[in-house]
Homo-oligomer: A and B are copies of this chain.
Amino acid sequence: LRRLCPDGGMIVVLTGGTGGAKFLDGLRKVINPEELTVIVNTGDDFQWWGLHVSPDIDSVMYVLSGRVSKERGWGVAGETFYCLQTMKQLDEPAWFQIGDRDLATHLIRTNLLAQGKTLTDATAEIASKLSVGVRVLPMSNSRVETRINTPSGEIGFQEYFVQRRYQDLVNGVSFNGAEKAKAAPGVVNAIMSATAVFLAPSNPVTSIGPILAVAEIRQALRDTPAPVVAISPIVGTAAVSGPAGSLMAAQGLPVSIAGVAKAYEDFLDVLIVDDADKSDAEKLEHYVLRVPQMKTIMRSEDDRKCLAEQALSYTIKNVPRKISVAS
């Protein structure tokens, strides 16, 4: 595997869960995992059965450790759900599917937090146990809670996304606690000293959005000398998967690469878009990298590696220093 960051810098990736994790899976196969630092959304974290669940951190760790269920794209391969079935029989909430193996992760995390460890420390310890091999940092050790404002009231992200299968109309999204939240240890420094910073093709509103809602992190993205490169999760006028489209619309963003660029406009150097995206990107010309044949939709393992490889090559070759961005 190539060493890309001979000066000790790192490839830093900001990510949510499933979509971003696919990009990470490609990256870990084309660069030295020791050169990768991942900063993960914790706005989806919630208490479930009294346990602290960090869905995006877990998705990232399961993908990077090779444990993920390839069929589902989340959770652990070969998983069973006997505890969940029992909980359901005993009239406990059962809409969030925690498997028997997955439970181990949440038990260990909850126990570490109860002992006074931070989420940063707990994540490092679990990542080590899972042999993740990549530095995984939660965005913050403060509680930042993504809340979805719907016509029937405000609900938590997992309630919106998993329990109600993102069928509600969305009036807006808020990040409770973000205004007071500090970046977790290592996050700002990782961004400032990076060789390149990528924003994974995750939902700009509820996956990358909570990370950017931490003021210190957004400022670091503006200040870093490293190129900041996003991979668009939107192709044409629709999200590759999930509710990114309606969430972007609810935040007043166009559902297009222009919307993604707008969400990141104060710090973005380059937006990598799918070759098939036919948007008029003229107004975005400073941002857009549309490589012939580049696909951002990752259907196969090869797609993941290919996107990672191309994103890295073009970034390293063509964005050697911070590009001045028209405001």
Contacts and interface: CB of A to CB of B under 8 A. Distances in A.
A108 interface: yes
Given A80-B82, A82-B80, A82-B82, A87 B110 contact: no
Contacts of A108: 49, 87, 90, 92
A54 to B, nearest CB: 16
A5 interface: no
Interface stretch (A14-22, A97-105, A205-213, A233-241): A97-105
Contacts of A90: 104, 108, 126, 129-130
Query: How many A residues are at the interface, by size bracket?
Result: 20 to 34
Interface string A36-55: 00000000000001110000
Work out how many copies of this chain go into the complex.
2
A189 interface: no
A279 interface: no
A91 interface: yes
Nearest to A92: B108
A163 interface: no
A246 B188 CA distance: 61
A107 interface: yes
A86 interface: yes
A114 interface: yes
Contacts of A87: 104, 107-108
Interface of A: 49-51, 80, 82-83, 85-87, 90-92, 99-101, 103-104, 107-108, 110-111, 114, 126, 129-130
12 contacts: A50-B110, A50-B114, A51-B107, A80-B80, A82-B99, A82-B100, A82-B101, A83-B103, A86-B101, A86-B103, A86-B104, A87-B104
